[in-house]
Structure 1
């Protein structure tokens, strides 16, 4: 069971998992995915022999009993995810869904965890819920066993529920992403270093160690005991290890993306700008740029020509392709605003704006425009291209 928080980059609303909505918790839909039905079938078959051994004489009814246990198990998964969701909302997050899946479940939320404590609390409450359930089922099992020395089906189910919840709680506390213990480790490293991205990358690499360890455990423990590894156990361990490896890899990528986002700065990414007055002609704008290049004020390449109005307010940026398309004979009569792309009002950024603050500004103020002005002290200093920002986030700038 995991929690997931989308990366802090401008993006469309997260897509909802496909499945059946059975209710709502913390304002978010609870979704049973189609893959859960496959998991329920497989687990029913897997647990049937264990129940048969503890409660013989059920005949074909053992599969019904196993299915009841599977429902108890996934009920525990639901409570695990509900705990994540409720604490996430209490810590200021917008919970988008709780999903019960082939691999257990996940809780998705947006909002951006502000402090290490937030991540720690959201993560730890899920495994703690399972451990509390394990204790509750364990006490109930002990009571039922004392009341009826010969185990019946309800007693068997209570015992299995106690063991399974204890295992789920302990397993999820392993310190590697995408497990809850990985988010706990991420929060601890974040608290020590002051950088969440570092915590994410560290917990992701530890998650890869955990993924390998799951498979090694299935192979090594039987050999140490002088037995042959069970093919079924090795197969399940390999599947779980592959799932954990993929999740850990995604976490490492997300952490590196966070590092890239933290390093963003409008001033560093912007193309330098040269201002031309509104009402100027294309010829006057090109002459001004040529003079600035000749004087060494600007370089020949990389500069953008920005049309400014009264008070040096940025109005538009010249479209280089449109300028090049103007015949030489028409440049003296073509106004710059005829070959310029207007800026969105209110989209200007300060060169010091950086990180998620910069991304949030661009997401809310650029209104789909690709270019925004960079303004400092009332003067245009550059033009920021959102394509450059996207490349920087992906680490390809």
Structure 2
């Protein structure tokens, strides 16, 4: 971590150092052709260009973070990586407009930097090394800004397309899948352009171009495919609900006997019993296996609390929750209990086994 922006840590990943070394070496021939007598200084100038590029990527992510926070989201991380960077923030499914605004501001920041660097370059009276760096910074920022606006996930332009389709159709999943498939087309198009343009222009295709085109294409294809899978998973998760996954249960006073509890469950048509205090607050649930092990002759004499499992005060969930809201509510209390009381307006209506939720979630993701 190298600092904080909008309350979130800024992380410089180890892969960035690899990218910095590669980019420094790649820019060396450009510096040599302009100033052949620099010697070791050639690498220093080349590295300064990489640092300027790092600043551009950093400001791109800062723009994402600032707008995300201004829209009411919690920014959790800014990272600079091998492939540029990313900004993570919560509440991405809140509003389509948020996705558009947060996504577009990053590329616009790069285009603004490109304009500033170009104007500064134009103001240079001669072509010096600072002028060369300004020219390179203008070109690289313009490229990053335009490239990120391509309308396919995982690029910023894909996020904009996803949000636009979401706003038009009312379905975020539709937006994600459309933007993911367009992202795959963009991946193929980038590779085709990188390899085809030199041939159409009468030049040979270098191995360097082939390798970089393959890497970029693979990165875009992989990100688009992951987006499509995530969209389908989100749709499947949206179909999960507490009401569908919970077991029906009936509440009985904590002072009840086993026979009282069994009779109450039979009348309610429920297989599970929750023990509640006088104010209706659930404190435990009866273990079905332990209840069935009590001899019939002893059931009227055995307190149901003797065969019950205690519950922490937070071990409850609302019956109306579904989708991601349900998963968030369950995740918030799973460290305290593996079985949750299901309530409807404060009234006990069921029990929810966390393992049942996990199995349903795995099934949704598998589909």
TM bucket normalised to smaller: 0.7 to 0.9
Unaligned runs of 5+ in 1: 1-20
CA separation in 2, counterparts of 1:255 and 1:121?
Answer: 20
Change (3 A) 1:265 1:137: same
Q: Does 1:123 align with 2:103?
A: yes
Change (3 A) 1:307 1:49: same
Q: 1:27 aligns with which of 7, 26, 38?
A: 7
CA separation in 2, counterparts of 1:396 and 1:129?
Answer: 36
What does residue 219 of structure 1 align with? Answer: 195
Contact residue 344 and residue 366 of structure 1 kept, 8 A: no
How far off its partner does 1:349 sit?
Answer: 3.7
What does residue 152 of structure 1 align with? Answer: 128
CA separation in 1, counterparts of 2:42 and 2:351?
Answer: 70
Summarize the alignment of residues 268-283 of structure 1 with structure 2, pairs less than 5 Å apart. Answer: 268-283=244-259
- Between stretches 133-142 and 250-259, larger displacement belongs to 250-259
How far off its partner does 1:256 sit?
Answer: 2.7
Q: 2:139 aligns with which of 158, 163, 167?
A: 163
Q: Secondary structure at the match of 2:123?
A: helix
Q: Does 1:141 align with 2:110?
A: no
What does residue 15 of structure 1 align with? Answer: none
Q: 1:72 aligns with which of 52, 73, 77?
A: 52
How far off its partner does 1:47 sit?
Answer: 1.2
Contact residue 154 and residue 180 of structure 2 kept, 8 A: yes
Instruction: Tell me the alpha carbon deviations over residues 4-34 of structure 1, each in whole angstroms, 9 at most, x when there is no partner.
Output: xxxxxxxxxxxxxxxxx33322222222222
Summarize the alignment of residues 294-309 of structure 1 with structure 2, pairs less than 5 Å apart. Answer: 298=269, 303-309=271-277
What does residue 99 of structure 1 align with? Answer: 79
How far off its partner does 1:166 sit?
Answer: 0.6
Q: Normalising to structure 1: TM-score of the pair?
A: 0.82
Summarize the alignment of residues 141-290 of structure 1 with structure 2, pairs less than 5 Å apart. Answer: 141-144=121-124, 147-148=125-126, 151-283=127-259, 285-286=261-262
Change (3 A) 1:339 1:57: same
CA separation in 1, counterparts of 2:69 and 2:148?
Answer: 21
Superposed CA RMSD in Å reads: 2.8
Equivalent residue pairs, number? 365
- Between stretches 92-101 and 371-380, larger displacement belongs to 371-380
How far off its partner does 1:233 sit?
Answer: 1.1
Q: Secondary structure at the match of 1:127?
A: helix
What does residue 361 of structure 1 align with? Answer: 329
- Between stretches 60-69 and 325-334, larger displacement belongs to 325-334
- Between stretches 45-54 and 342-351, larger displacement belongs to 342-351
Contact residue 93 and residue 113 of structure 1 kept, 8 A: no
- Between stretches 175-184 and 119-128, larger displacement belongs to 175-184
What does residue 28 of structure 2 align with? Answer: 48
Change (3 A) 1:307 1:214: same
How far off its partner does 1:113 sit?
Answer: 4.8
Q: Secondary structure at the match of 2:341?
A: strand
How far off its partner does 1:168 sit?
Answer: 0.4
Contact residue 257 and residue 393 of structure 1 kept, 8 A: no
Change (3 A) 1:379 1:68: closer
Relative contact order (alpha carbons < 8 A, sep ≥ 6): 1 or 2 greater? 1
Contact residue 97 and residue 109 of structure 1 kept, 8 A: yes
Change (3 A) 1:329 1:219: farther
CA separation in 2, counterparts of 1:377 and 1:125?
Answer: 43
Q: Secondary structure at the match of 1:30?
A: strand
Instruction: Tell me the alpha carbon deviations over residues 259-308 of structure 1, each in whole angstroms, 9 at most, x when there is no partner.
Output: 2343232212211224555444435544665x56xxxx748xxx323334
Unaligned runs of 5+ in 2: none
Q: Secondary structure at the match of 1:38?
A: helix
Change (3 A) 1:174 1:207: same
Q: Normalising to structure 2: TM-score of the pair?
A: 0.88
Q: Secondary structure at the match of 1:306?
A: strand
CA separation in 1, counterparts of 2:132 and 2:168?
Answer: 45
How far off its partner does 1:93 sit?
Answer: 1.8
